[in-house]
């Protein structure tokens, strides 16, 4: 019988390998062409360093997109394991998940009605 922690160690090793391997491989094989945009820090597609106070406010849409993403992201995170264990959970699972989906729809409705989804 193996130690139960061994799989975790293996996973950690694999993860490290993947991360380091990716960086290493691109450093070795990739073409090296720099531009200004490439040298800037990456911050989710917006200006990474706001300038003076007052001009430095993030656009509110930034947060809206993030929050809408989370609404659906959480949904998926729960839906996936639920689907796997669906047969065990039986009726209880269906009802619970329906309740969860209904609740997660509420903020979506709120966003929609209050105009958060109008881009302009």
Partner 1 sequence: MTTFVAPVIDWAALSAILVIAGTGIVGVLVAAFVPASSRRTVQVVLALVAPLAALAVVAWRWSVVVGGGESTLVAGQLAEDGPALAAQAIILIFAVVGFAVMASRLPNGEEAFAPQGAAAPGSAYEEAARRAGLEQTEVFPLALLSLAGMLVFPMANDLLVMFVALEVLSLPLYVLSAMARRRRVLSHEAALKYFLLGAFSSALFLFGVALLFGFSGSISLPDLGTAAATTVGMDGMAVVGFVLVLTGLLFKVGAVPFHAWVPDVYQGAPTPVTGFMAAATKTAAFAAILRLLYVAAPGFGWDVEPVLWAVAIASMLLGTVAAIVQTDIKRTLAYSSVAHAGFALVAIVSLSEQGPSALLFYLLAYGLATVGAFAVVTLVRERDADGNVTGEATHLSQWAGLGRRHPVLAATMTLFLLSFAGIPLTAGFVGKFVAFVAAADGGAWPLVVIAVIASAAAAFFYVRIIVLMYFSRPEESERPGADAVEPGALTRASLVLCALGTLVLGVWPTPVLDLLAQAAKFVV
Q: Give the tokens for residue 56.
A: 């430095």
If the CB atoms of residues 20 and 101 are measured against partner 1, the closer one turns out to be: 101
Q: Binding partner 1 by CB under 8 A: which of 90, 98, 101, 117?
A: 90
Tokens representing residue 2 in the block:
């193996």
Residues 6+ apart with CB under 8 A from 71: 104, 107, 108
When the beta carbons of 10 and 95 are compared against partner 1, the nearer one is 95
Binding site for partner 1 (CB under 8 A): 57, 60, 85, 88-92, 103, 106-107, 109-110, 112-114
């Amino acid at each position: 019988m193996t130690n139960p922690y061994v799989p975790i160690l293996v996973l950690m090793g694999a993860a490290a390998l993947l991360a380091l391997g990716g960086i290493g491989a691109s450093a070795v094989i990739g073409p090296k062409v720099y531009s200004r945009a490439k040298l800037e820090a990456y911050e989710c597609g917006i200006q990474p360093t706001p300038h003076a106070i007052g001009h430095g406010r993030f656009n509110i849409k930034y947060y809206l997109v993030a929050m809408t993403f989370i609404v659906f992201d959480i949904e998926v995170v729960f839906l996936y394991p639920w689907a796997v264990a669906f047969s065990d959970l039986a009726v209880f699972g269906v009802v619970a998940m329906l309740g969860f989906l209904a609740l997660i729809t509420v903020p979506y409705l709120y966003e929609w009605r209050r105009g958060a989804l109008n881009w302009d």
